[in-house]
């Protein structure tokens, strides 16, 4: 009889853990509503709009909705200091580095360029 109780407790603990992790990761489509939007003239730039979409799909889980970092480093406000040469940032996104997975083969070159521009110009 104690065994089913332990299993129920374990199931409840796992459910709580998964709920907490899901909340921390911000899962669901409502995440996109809090991701910074290109504004003004940027709002009409299709590359920045694409960059935001790529950011929402591929980057927020590590770098955070607003680019201030989670398990990955903060990019908002510092990416141009960290990567003064845009080609260096493109290379990191394309090829990966340390825990950052390579985006080549997952994202098109156009998507990589768009998300790099988004991080530099919008975040």
What are the boundaries of each domain within the chain?
Answer: 1-27, 35-121
Q: Give, for all 123 residues of the chain, the pLDDT tens digit.
A: 443 444 444 433 333 333 333 434 444 444 444 899 999 999 999 999 999 999 999 999 999 999 999 999 999 999 999 999 999 999 999 999 999 999 999 999 999 999 999 999 999
The listed CATH number (1.10.760.10, 3.40.50.300, 1.10.10.2120, 2.60.120.10) that belongs to domain 35-121: 1.10.760.10
CA distances from 20 to 9, 17, 36, 68, 93 (A): 16, 5, 24, 20, 29
pTM: 0.72
Task: Return all residues near 50 (Cβ < 8 A) that are at least 6 apart.
Answer: 110, 111, 114
């Amino acid at each position: 009889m104690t065994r089913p109780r332990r299993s129920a407790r374990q199931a409840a603990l796992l459910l709580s853990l998964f709920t907490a992790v899901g909340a921390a990761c911000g899962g669901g489509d409502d995440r996109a509503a809090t991701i910074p939007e290109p504004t003004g003239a940027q709002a009409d730039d299709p590359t920045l709009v694409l960059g935001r979409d790529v950011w929402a799909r591929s980057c927020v889980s590590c770098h955070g909705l607003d680019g201030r970092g989670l398990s990955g480093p903060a990019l908002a406000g510092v990416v141009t200091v960290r990567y003064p040469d845009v080609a260096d940032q493109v290379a990191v996104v394309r090829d990966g580095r340390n825990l950052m997975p390579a985006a080549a083969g997952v994202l098109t070159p156009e998507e990589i360029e768009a998300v790099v521009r988004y991080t530099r110009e919008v975040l």
